[in-house]
A and B are shown apart, each in its own frame.
Chain A
Protein backbone atom coordinates (compact mmCIF):
# COMPACT_ATOMS: atom_id res chain seq x y z
CA UNK A 1 0.00 0.00 0.00
CA UNK A 2 1.16 3.50 -0.70
CA UNK A 3 0.76 5.82 2.29
CA UNK A 4 1.03 9.58 2.63
CA UNK A 5 1.84 11.02 6.05
CA UNK A 6 0.79 14.66 5.91
CA UNK A 7 3.14 17.10 7.60
CA UNK A 8 1.57 20.29 8.88
CA UNK A 9 3.62 23.00 10.55
CA UNK A 10 4.05 21.65 14.11
CA UNK A 11 3.00 18.09 13.38
CA UNK A 12 5.16 16.08 15.78
CA UNK A 13 4.05 12.46 15.44
CA UNK A 14 4.78 12.29 11.72
CA UNK A 15 8.13 10.52 12.20
CA UNK A 16 6.66 7.93 14.57
CA UNK A 17 3.88 7.22 12.07
CA UNK A 18 6.28 6.91 9.14
CA UNK A 19 8.56 4.66 11.20
CA UNK A 20 5.72 2.24 11.95
CA UNK A 21 4.52 2.18 8.36
CA UNK A 22 7.95 1.77 6.75
CA UNK A 23 10.16 0.02 9.26
CA UNK A 24 7.67 -2.07 11.23
CA UNK A 25 5.23 -2.88 8.44
CA UNK A 26 7.38 -2.50 5.32
CA UNK A 27 4.93 -0.19 3.61
CA UNK A 28 5.61 2.30 0.85
CA UNK A 29 5.17 5.51 2.83
CA UNK A 30 6.28 9.10 2.36
CA UNK A 31 5.79 12.47 3.95
CA UNK A 32 3.62 14.93 2.06
CA UNK A 33 4.06 18.59 2.99
CA UNK A 34 0.77 20.37 3.68
CA UNK A 35 1.39 22.83 0.86
CA UNK A 36 1.21 20.04 -1.70
CA UNK A 37 -2.09 19.72 -3.54
CA UNK A 38 -2.04 16.18 -4.92
CA UNK A 39 -2.39 12.73 -3.38
CA UNK A 40 -2.51 10.93 -6.72
CA UNK A 41 -1.48 7.29 -6.48
CA UNK A 42 -1.85 7.25 -2.71
CA UNK A 43 -3.94 4.45 -1.16
CA UNK A 44 -4.07 5.74 2.40
CA UNK A 45 -3.62 9.12 4.08
CA UNK A 46 -2.44 9.57 7.66
CA UNK A 47 -2.91 12.88 9.47
CA UNK A 48 -0.49 12.68 12.40
CA UNK A 49 -0.56 14.08 15.90
CA UNK A 50 0.96 17.38 16.90
CA UNK A 51 -0.01 20.98 17.37
CA UNK A 52 -0.61 22.19 13.84
CA UNK A 53 -0.49 25.98 13.62
CA UNK A 54 0.10 26.15 17.36
CA UNK A 55 -3.51 25.07 17.99
CA UNK A 56 -4.41 28.73 17.35
CA UNK A 57 -8.15 29.55 17.32
CA UNK A 58 -9.06 25.89 17.88
CA UNK A 59 -7.11 22.67 17.38
CA UNK A 60 -7.11 21.88 13.66
CA UNK A 61 -9.03 25.04 12.74
CA UNK A 62 -6.29 26.48 10.53
CA UNK A 63 -4.87 23.18 9.27
CA UNK A 64 -8.23 22.35 7.71
CA UNK A 65 -7.56 25.13 5.20
CA UNK A 66 -4.10 23.84 4.23
CA UNK A 67 -3.63 23.38 0.47
CA UNK A 68 -3.48 19.58 0.81
CA UNK A 69 -6.91 19.33 2.46
CA UNK A 70 -9.01 19.37 -0.74
CA UNK A 71 -7.00 16.34 -1.91
CA UNK A 72 -7.62 14.64 1.45
CA UNK A 73 -11.35 15.24 0.97
CA UNK A 74 -11.19 13.82 -2.55
CA UNK A 75 -9.38 10.73 -1.23
CA UNK A 76 -12.01 10.33 1.50
CA UNK A 77 -14.86 10.69 -1.00
CA UNK A 78 -13.20 8.07 -3.22
CA UNK A 79 -13.29 5.59 -0.35
CA UNK A 80 -9.56 5.62 0.34
CA UNK A 81 -8.37 5.07 3.89
CA UNK A 82 -7.96 8.30 5.88
CA UNK A 83 -6.60 7.98 9.41
CA UNK A 84 -6.36 10.96 11.78
CA UNK A 85 -4.53 10.46 15.05
CA UNK A 86 -4.85 13.01 17.87
CA UNK A 87 -4.34 16.36 16.13
CA UNK A 88 -5.23 14.52 12.93
CA UNK A 89 -8.61 13.62 14.49
CA UNK A 90 -9.11 17.27 15.44
CA UNK A 91 -8.35 18.33 11.85
CA UNK A 92 -10.80 15.75 10.45
CA UNK A 93 -13.55 17.11 12.71
CA UNK A 94 -12.80 20.73 11.86
CA UNK A 95 -12.80 19.90 8.16
CA UNK A 96 -16.20 18.21 8.41
CA UNK A 97 -14.92 14.78 7.38
CA UNK A 98 -16.02 13.57 10.81
CA UNK A 99 -18.87 14.98 12.93
CA UNK A 100 -18.43 16.76 16.24
CA UNK A 101 -15.44 18.57 17.69
CA UNK A 102 -12.71 18.09 20.27
CA UNK A 103 -12.51 20.67 23.04
CA UNK A 104 -10.43 21.30 26.15
CA UNK A 105 -10.23 18.34 28.54
CA UNK A 106 -12.86 18.72 31.26
CA UNK A 107 -10.12 18.63 33.89
CA UNK A 108 -8.13 21.32 32.02
CA UNK A 109 -5.10 19.02 32.41
CA UNK A 110 -2.96 17.75 29.58
CA UNK A 111 -3.16 13.96 29.96
CA UNK A 112 -0.16 11.88 28.92
CA UNK A 113 -0.46 8.24 29.95
CA UNK A 114 -1.29 4.76 28.73
CA UNK A 115 -4.93 3.82 29.25
CA UNK A 116 -7.39 1.01 28.56
CA UNK A 117 -9.34 1.60 25.36
CA UNK A 118 -12.18 -0.67 24.26
CA UNK A 119 -12.80 -1.78 20.68
CA UNK A 120 -16.52 -1.13 20.15
CA UNK A 121 -16.81 -2.44 16.61
CA UNK A 122 -14.34 -4.90 15.12
CA UNK A 123 -16.04 -5.20 11.75
CA UNK A 124 -14.36 -2.19 10.10
CA UNK A 125 -11.26 -1.84 7.96
CA UNK A 126 -9.54 -0.25 10.96
CA UNK A 127 -10.40 -2.88 13.55
CA UNK A 128 -10.72 -6.22 11.75
CA UNK A 129 -7.72 -7.69 13.57
CA UNK A 130 -9.29 -6.96 16.96
CA UNK A 131 -12.35 -8.42 18.67
CA UNK A 132 -15.41 -6.37 19.61
CA UNK A 133 -15.15 -5.67 23.33
CA UNK A 134 -11.37 -6.22 23.38
CA UNK A 135 -9.55 -3.90 25.78
CA UNK A 136 -6.34 -2.44 24.39
CA UNK A 137 -3.71 -0.44 26.22
CA UNK A 138 -2.93 2.67 24.21
CA UNK A 139 -1.12 5.91 25.01
CA UNK A 140 -2.88 9.25 24.98
CA UNK A 141 -1.21 12.67 25.04
CA UNK A 142 -3.58 15.59 24.65
CA UNK A 143 -5.09 18.68 26.22
CA UNK A 144 -8.05 18.85 23.85
CA UNK A 145 -9.49 15.38 23.48
CA UNK A 146 -12.92 15.98 24.96
CA UNK A 147 -15.28 14.84 22.21
CA UNK A 148 -18.44 16.94 21.88
CA UNK A 149 -21.43 16.58 19.56
CA UNK A 150 -25.16 17.09 19.92
CA UNK A 151 -27.31 14.21 21.17
CA UNK A 152 -28.73 13.39 17.74
CA UNK A 153 -25.21 13.05 16.33
CA UNK A 154 -24.08 10.91 19.26
CA UNK A 155 -27.13 8.66 18.93
CA UNK A 156 -26.54 8.21 15.22
CA UNK A 157 -22.82 7.48 15.73
CA UNK A 158 -23.71 4.61 18.06
CA UNK A 159 -26.69 3.43 16.01
CA UNK A 160 -24.51 3.19 12.90
CA UNK A 161 -21.62 1.57 14.81
CA UNK A 162 -19.31 4.46 13.94
CA UNK A 163 -17.89 4.58 17.46
CA UNK A 164 -14.88 2.29 17.15
CA UNK A 165 -13.07 3.07 20.42
CA UNK A 166 -14.14 4.19 23.89
CA UNK A 167 -12.22 4.89 27.11
CA UNK A 168 -12.86 2.23 29.73
CA UNK A 169 -11.39 0.64 32.84
CA UNK A 170 -9.27 -2.54 32.79
CA UNK A 171 -12.46 -4.62 32.78
CA UNK A 172 -13.85 -2.82 29.73
CA UNK A 173 -16.43 -0.80 31.69
CA UNK A 174 -17.03 2.84 30.69
CA UNK A 175 -16.81 4.27 34.22
CA UNK A 176 -16.56 8.02 34.89
CA UNK A 177 -13.07 7.50 36.38
CA UNK A 178 -11.87 5.84 33.18
CA UNK A 179 -12.75 8.85 31.02
CA UNK A 180 -9.54 10.91 30.82
CA UNK A 181 -10.93 14.04 29.21
CA UNK A 182 -14.70 14.23 29.70
CA UNK A 183 -15.51 12.93 26.22
CA UNK A 184 -19.23 12.49 25.71
CA UNK A 185 -20.18 8.83 26.02
CA UNK A 186 -16.48 7.99 26.51
CA UNK A 187 -15.75 8.38 22.81
CA UNK A 188 -12.08 7.89 21.90
CA UNK A 189 -12.39 7.25 18.17
CA UNK A 190 -15.07 7.41 15.48
CA UNK A 191 -15.32 6.69 11.78
CA UNK A 192 -17.47 8.23 9.09
CA UNK A 193 -20.65 6.58 7.86
CA UNK A 194 -18.86 4.99 4.91
CA UNK A 195 -16.28 3.50 7.26
CA UNK A 196 -13.14 4.71 5.47
CA UNK A 197 -12.26 7.76 7.60
CA UNK A 198 -11.19 7.21 11.21
CA UNK A 199 -10.20 9.75 13.83
CA UNK A 200 -8.98 8.76 17.28
CA UNK A 201 -7.25 10.50 20.16
CA UNK A 202 -5.11 7.55 21.38
CA UNK A 203 -1.81 6.96 19.57
CA UNK A 204 -1.66 3.48 18.00
CA UNK A 205 1.66 4.41 16.35
CA UNK A 206 3.23 4.80 19.78
CA UNK A 207 2.12 1.30 20.73
CA UNK A 208 3.22 -0.69 17.70
CA UNK A 209 6.35 -2.41 19.04
CA UNK A 210 6.79 -4.50 22.19
CA UNK A 211 10.01 -2.67 23.03
CA UNK A 212 7.94 0.48 23.54
CA UNK A 213 5.79 -1.23 26.16
CA UNK A 214 2.79 -2.25 24.05
CA UNK A 215 2.07 -3.33 20.53
CA UNK A 216 -1.70 -3.17 20.99
CA UNK A 217 -1.88 -0.37 18.41
CA UNK A 218 -0.26 -2.39 15.64
CA UNK A 219 -3.54 -4.21 14.98
CA UNK A 220 -5.08 -1.01 13.70
CA UNK A 221 -2.50 -0.78 10.94
CA UNK A 222 -2.50 -4.51 10.15
CA UNK A 223 -6.31 -4.37 9.98
CA UNK A 224 -6.03 -1.72 7.27
CA UNK A 225 -3.46 -3.78 5.35
CA UNK A 226 -5.62 -6.89 5.56
CA UNK A 227 -8.71 -5.03 4.37
CA UNK A 228 -6.84 -3.76 1.34
CA UNK A 229 -5.75 -7.26 0.36
CA UNK A 230 -9.26 -8.67 0.77
Chain B
Protein backbone atom coordinates (compact mmCIF):
# COMPACT_ATOMS: atom_id res chain seq x y z
CA UNK B 1 0.00 0.00 0.00
CA UNK B 2 1.11 3.52 -0.72
CA UNK B 3 0.08 6.47 1.38
CA UNK B 4 0.15 9.90 -0.17
CA UNK B 5 -0.26 13.23 1.49
CA UNK B 6 -0.88 16.42 -0.45
CA UNK B 7 -0.46 19.76 1.27
CA UNK B 8 -2.03 22.59 -0.71
CA UNK B 9 -1.05 26.11 0.34
CA UNK B 10 -2.09 29.53 -0.91
CA UNK B 11 0.78 31.21 -2.73
CA UNK B 12 2.50 33.85 -0.64
CA UNK B 13 1.84 36.49 -3.27
CA UNK B 14 -1.92 35.90 -3.14
CA UNK B 15 -3.94 37.53 -0.37
CA UNK B 16 -5.32 34.75 1.84
CA UNK B 17 -8.42 36.10 3.59
CA UNK B 18 -8.85 32.97 5.73
CA UNK B 19 -5.24 33.12 6.89
CA UNK B 20 -5.65 36.81 7.65
CA UNK B 21 -8.78 36.19 9.75
CA UNK B 22 -7.13 33.30 11.60
CA UNK B 23 -4.04 35.45 12.24
CA UNK B 24 -6.12 38.20 13.77
CA UNK B 25 -8.08 35.72 15.90
CA UNK B 26 -4.88 34.21 17.29
CA UNK B 27 -3.48 37.68 18.02
CA UNK B 28 -6.78 38.51 19.75
CA UNK B 29 -6.29 35.42 21.93
CA UNK B 30 -3.04 36.85 23.21
CA UNK B 31 -0.29 35.70 20.87
CA UNK B 32 0.89 39.20 20.07
CA UNK B 33 4.09 37.92 18.44
CA UNK B 34 2.19 36.17 15.64
CA UNK B 35 3.10 37.73 12.30
CA UNK B 36 1.33 35.63 9.68
CA UNK B 37 -1.04 32.70 9.24
CA UNK B 38 -1.87 30.81 6.06
CA UNK B 39 -4.70 28.32 5.69
CA UNK B 40 -4.35 25.48 3.21
CA UNK B 41 -5.59 21.92 2.87
CA UNK B 42 -4.24 18.50 3.66
CA UNK B 43 -5.48 15.70 1.40
CA UNK B 44 -4.65 12.09 2.34
CA UNK B 45 -4.79 9.30 -0.21
CA UNK B 46 -4.25 5.55 -0.09
CA UNK B 47 -3.32 3.53 -3.14
CA UNK B 48 -2.96 -0.18 -3.78
CA UNK B 49 0.41 -1.52 -4.94
CA UNK B 50 3.98 -0.49 -4.14
CA UNK B 51 5.20 1.31 -7.27
CA UNK B 52 5.94 4.63 -5.64
CA UNK B 53 7.40 6.29 -8.74
CA UNK B 54 4.40 5.39 -10.87
CA UNK B 55 2.08 6.67 -8.16
CA UNK B 56 4.12 9.87 -7.86
CA UNK B 57 3.83 10.55 -11.59
CA UNK B 58 0.08 9.88 -11.60
CA UNK B 59 -0.61 11.92 -8.49
CA UNK B 60 1.58 14.79 -9.60
CA UNK B 61 -0.75 15.28 -12.56
CA UNK B 62 -3.79 15.02 -10.29
CA UNK B 63 -2.28 17.59 -7.95
CA UNK B 64 -1.79 20.03 -10.81
CA UNK B 65 -5.14 19.43 -12.51
CA UNK B 66 -7.54 18.89 -9.65
CA UNK B 67 -6.23 19.19 -6.11
CA UNK B 68 -4.57 22.58 -6.55
CA UNK B 69 -4.90 25.53 -8.90
CA UNK B 70 -1.39 26.69 -9.88
CA UNK B 71 -2.66 30.26 -10.35
CA UNK B 72 -3.18 30.64 -6.60
CA UNK B 73 -1.76 27.58 -4.85
CA UNK B 74 1.38 25.50 -4.39
CA UNK B 75 1.37 21.87 -3.35
CA UNK B 76 3.75 19.39 -1.76
CA UNK B 77 3.20 15.72 -2.52
CA UNK B 78 4.69 13.17 -0.13
CA UNK B 79 4.50 9.41 -0.64
CA UNK B 80 5.32 6.58 1.74
CA UNK B 81 4.93 2.82 1.91
CA UNK B 82 3.99 1.98 5.50
CA UNK B 83 4.06 -1.80 4.99
CA UNK B 84 7.39 -2.82 3.40
CA UNK B 85 7.92 -5.95 1.32
CA UNK B 86 5.51 -7.83 -0.89
Which residue from chain B places its CB closest to the CB of A153 in the assembled complex? B71
Q: Taking the complex as formed, is A57 at the interface, i.e. its CB lies under 8 A from any CB of chain B?
A: yes
Interface residues of A in 79-112 (CB under 8 A from B): 94, 100-101, 103-108
Which residues on B sit within 8 Å (CB–CB) of A58?
69
- A147 → chain B, closest Cβ, in Å? 11
Which residues on A sit within 8 Å (CB–CB) of B67?
57
Which one, B21, B41, B71, contacts A148 given CB within 8 A? Answer: B71
Are the CB atoms of A101 and B15 closer together than 8 Å? no
Which one, A100, A101, A182, contacts B17 given CB within 8 A? Answer: A182
Complex Cα spacing A61 to B72, Å: 13
Which one, B14, B17, B21, B66, contacts A61 given CB within 8 A? Answer: B66
Are the CB atoms of B71 and A104 closer together than 8 Å? no
Which residue from chain A places its CB closest to the CB of B14 in the assembled complex? A148
A contact patch SS: loop
- For A62, A94, A107, A148, the residue with the greatest tally of chain B CB atoms inside 10 Å of its CB is A148
Interface residues of A in 131-159 (CB under 8 A from B): 146, 148-150
Q: Taking the complex as formed, is B18 at the interface, i.e. its CB lies under 8 A from any CB of chain A?
A: yes
- A229 → chain B, closest Cβ, in Å? 37
Which residue from chain B places its CB closest to the CB of A146 in the assembled complex? B17
Which residue from chain B places its CB closest to the CB of A150 in the assembled complex? B71
Are the CB atoms of B71 and A100 closer together than 8 Å? yes
Interface residues of A in 27-64 (CB under 8 A from B): 57-58, 61-62
Which residues on B sit within 8 Å (CB–CB) of A149?
71
Interface residues of B in 54-83 (CB under 8 A from A): 66-67, 69, 71-72
Are the CB atoms of B17 and A148 closer together than 8 Å? no
Known A108-B18, A148-B14: A103·B66 in contact at CB below 8 Å: no
Which one, A101, A107, A146, contacts B71 given CB within 8 A? Answer: A101
Which one, A57, A106, A148, contacts B72 given CB within 8 A? Answer: A148
- For B18, B41, B72, the residue with the greatest tally of chain A CB atoms inside 10 Å of its CB is B72
- B24 → chain A, closest Cβ, in Å? 11
Task: Please provide the 8 A-B residue pairs with the shortest distance between their CB atoms, ordered closest to farther.
Answer: A101-B71, A104-B17, A108-B17, A106-B17, A101-B72, A101-B69, A108-B21, A148-B72
Q: Name A's B-contacting residues (CB within 8 A).
A: 57-58, 61-62, 65, 94, 100-101, 103-108, 146, 148-150, 182
Would you give 16 A-B contacts (Cβ < 8 Å), ordered by A?
A57-B41, A57-B66, A58-B69, A61-B69, A62-B66, A94-B69, A101-B69, A101-B72, A103-B17, A103-B72, A106-B15, A108-B17, A108-B18, A148-B14, A148-B71, A148-B72
List 13 other contacts, CB 8 Å, given A62-B66, A101-B72: A57-B67, A61-B66, A61-B69, A65-B66, A101-B71, A103-B14, A105-B17, A106-B15, A107-B17, A108-B17, A146-B17, A148-B71, A182-B15
